[in-house]
Amino acid sequence: MATAALAHPPIDLLDTSVFARRQEAALFRRLRDRAPPFWNPEPGGQGFWNLTRHADVVTAARDNRRLGSGRGTQIKDKRAEGHGHPSVHNADQPIHGPLRAPGLDAFRRAAMARHGDRIATIVDRLIDAAPVNRPFDFVETIALQLPMIVIAEVLGVPDADAPQLTRWANAMSDVHATDTEQAEARAALFRYFRTLADGKRLSPADDVASALAGHFDGPHRDEILDAYFMLLTVAGNETTRFLLAEGLEALVETPGALDRLRADPTLVGSCVEEMCRFVSPVLQMRRTAMEDMTLCDQPIRAGDKVVLWFNSANRDERVFADPDIFDPGRHPNPHVGFGAGAHFCIGAHLARLETRLFLESFLRRIARVAIVEPATRNPSNWFAATHRLMVEWA
């Protein structure tokens, strides 16, 4: 009986309450120490294999020929864009390359850098408008607002429309939203961007929406753009929000980390990378075995689902010294916070730029900061879905 009492409870990666309580780090440490991969049953589904070690996740992410994304990248058999043309996120070759190319060009580092001054102004304005010497919700006041305004700026969406786009995006990524709620949000998002794209074709501007609307043509043009704009709206809003919120919390709560950054602002760049590693805004992505294969000595059958846990890879003791410690000067830092391989995040340059400019403004403007209440998450095993972080600063 004593042995049973001390035994670990069974692991179920579909139990989103573990992620809502932010207790997944210890769970994944157990899985990394087991012989991977780990099989997880799926009520009403076929079940799925799970990769948790850094080397295994990177290898699988780069093997896009045998581990495909075209059947969906969520654990559940569904695609966020519905049953129309696949997004670049849910596409395999030969579709993936031509889809990805214009997005890569539109979000290249130099193109995003042109927005630097405007983003810096937005950051300064948001920080200056935040309450002083009394608690406020950092997520609602800054972490939600900044990426919402910035993605609208980059896409070429009027500022007044950004809040509604964010509400639709939230519904699309909410693992607890009903299929009907997600379908309604998806349809509304598609209608909005079709109207926007029509306008950009008539009067193109120096923005991503104009670039994409002008690139695609042919019978599937509207469906391709539907999926593209939906992906950019969801990814451009949510992941950066989570990165900023839990990244700031880690920086403030880790003894000496903020003092070290203030003493040496040249560490801002490495601090951004450490935030990406430590937070891992996108917890996982699923792949599907395209043929019979072997992963980590485990036979995998064609059609099996394989889930790549980026958050676990980013805490792998085999790669990162003291992985549960936030180190703003960590080097090297081969994190997979933006994924790896052919599906590496298109918006990585923009996310890094936003986070760097926030930290630089924060260091200039804020003399004192304290976490009043720890960050809380919505129950999700897909995103680090931070929805509240109470801070006080001066």
pLDDT score recorded for residue 38: 96
Residue pair 54/314 in contact (Cβ under 8 Å)? The answer is yes
pLDDT score recorded for residue 59: 97
pLDDT score recorded for residue 255: 98
pLDDT score recorded for residue 81: 54
Residue pair 298/322 in contact (Cβ under 8 Å)? The answer is no
pLDDT score recorded for residue 4: 37
* Neighbouring-strand partners of residue 282: 383
Query: At how many degrees (to 10) do helices 348-365 and 268-279 cross?
Result: 120
pLDDT score recorded for residue 79: 61
pLDDT score recorded for residue 83: 63
**Cis peptide upstream of residue 37 (ω within 30 degrees of 0):** yes
pLDDT score recorded for residue 175: 65
* C-alpha 240, offset from chain centre: 7
| Structural domains of the chain, count | 1
Domain that holds residue 58: 2-393
pLDDT score recorded for residue 5: 36
Residue segments in the chain with a per-residue pLDDT below the cut of 50: 1-6
Give the tens place of pLDDT for each residue, 148-174.
999 999 999 998 898 898 888 878 777
pLDDT score recorded for residue 167: 86
pLDDT score recorded for residue 155: 94
Residue 196's CATH number: 1.10.630.10
